[in-house]
Structure 1
Amino acid sequence: MSDVNRKEVRVAVASKDRLQINEHFGHADAFHVYQVGPAGVVYLEERQVEHYCQGGYGDEDKREVILRALADCSALFVARVGDGPRERLERAGIQAVDDYPYAQVETALQSWYQESGRA
């Protein structure tokens, strides 16, 4: 497929340092948003949220705020995500990706983009 036909997608990453995918969904206070496409990976912004996990259980109101904050993203990359949040993300049209825990962000995003068939 030529580069002209490839689609750019917006994704979010749970990361403490913007270097690695090293944050659990429920513990993230911010998500880093990237544009991924044929030209590579471009950092766009940080989106602040209140973390979802409240000492062993999840706060549903906070999860809904997180879903709204990520509504324009196709995927969310996390080190780990529970089944409940994963299902809710999927219903919102956001793919929960935990296949790259502790991987370098840009490398993981490029690999996912190539493997997902979007490239």
Structure 2
Amino acid sequence: MLRIAFATSDRQTVNLHFGGAEALMLYDVAPGQADLVGFMEFPKAEQEGETTRVGLTGTDKDKVIPKLDFVQECAAVYAASIGASSIRRLMALGVQPIIVDEGHDIIDLLNEVSLAIVHGGLPWVDKAKARAEAAKTQPTLSGIEPARHDLITSIDD
């Protein structure tokens, strides 16, 4: 399953610039299905100055930070336009920025991702699947593999 974000004002098409997006939709996409898992509207904000926050630049009034926070668990973000700074910031989070023609149907893009999960054909989908699979096999607790132990339930055991 991959989580995908779309910059949209009408909930049907990709029709917004990422940085200036007034709304983003999140879908979890698996072979043959897509589940809407999030929708957030963003107030218009003016960017003021720069500061460092988790390796990214911007301030609390930076209009992109709330969007980055919202999409940080996504494999990709589709938008009608994405500025160079936002592209760098998305990539730093491990989120693939994807620019499509304004008015592109979200359902068509979801179908494309679903097919790519099964059959390949979109390099970013292959990379996202590999990352997700690697995360499942990563050891936890500083190199200690998770383990289950059967424990006694009485002193007679």
**Alignment of structure 1 residues 86-105 onto 2, 5 Å:** 86-105=87-106
Task: Give the deviation of 1:86 after TM superposition.
Answer: 0.6
Scaled by the length of structure 1, the TM-score of the pair is 0.77
Match of 1:82 in 2: 83
What's the secondary structure of 1:35's corresponding residue? strand
What's the secondary structure of 1:77's corresponding residue? strand
| Structure with greater Cα Rg | 2
- The range that moved more, 77-86 or 39-48, is 39-48
What's the secondary structure of 1:25's corresponding residue? coil
Match of 2:65 in 1: 64
Match of 2:30 in 1: 37
Q: RCO (CA 8 Å, sep 6+): is it higher in 1 or 2?
A: 1
Task: Give the deviation of 1:51 after TM superposition.
Answer: 4.5
Moved over 4 A (4+): none
Q: Distance in 2 between matches of 1:39 and 1:22?
A: 24
Match of 1:21 in 2: 14
Q: Distance in 2 between matches of 1:17 and 1:99?
A: 16
The answer for unaligned runs of 5 or more in structure 2 is 48-56, 130-157
Q: Distance in 2 between matches of 1:37 and 1:100?
A: 24
Against the structure 1 CA distance between its residues 91 and 47, is the aligned structure 2 distance closer, same or farther, given a 3 Å change threshold? same
Q: Deviations over 1:16-40 (max 9, x none)?
A: 1011110111221221010111022
The AA in structure 1 aligned to 2:3 is R
What's the secondary structure of 1:27's corresponding residue? coil
1:100, 1:108 within 8 Å by CA — same for their partners in 2?
no
1:21, 1:104 within 8 Å by CA — same for their partners in 2?
yes
What's the secondary structure of 2:11's corresponding residue? coil
Task: Give the deviation of 1:48 after TM superposition.
Answer: 2.9
The AA in structure 2 aligned to 1:104 is D
Q: Percent identity?
A: 22
Scaled by the length of structure 2, the TM-score of the pair is 0.60
Q: Distance in 2 between matches of 1:9 and 1:100?
A: 22
Number of aligned pairs?
110
2:29, 2:113 within 8 Å by CA — same for their partners in 1?
no
* C-alpha RMSD of matched pairs (Å): 2.6
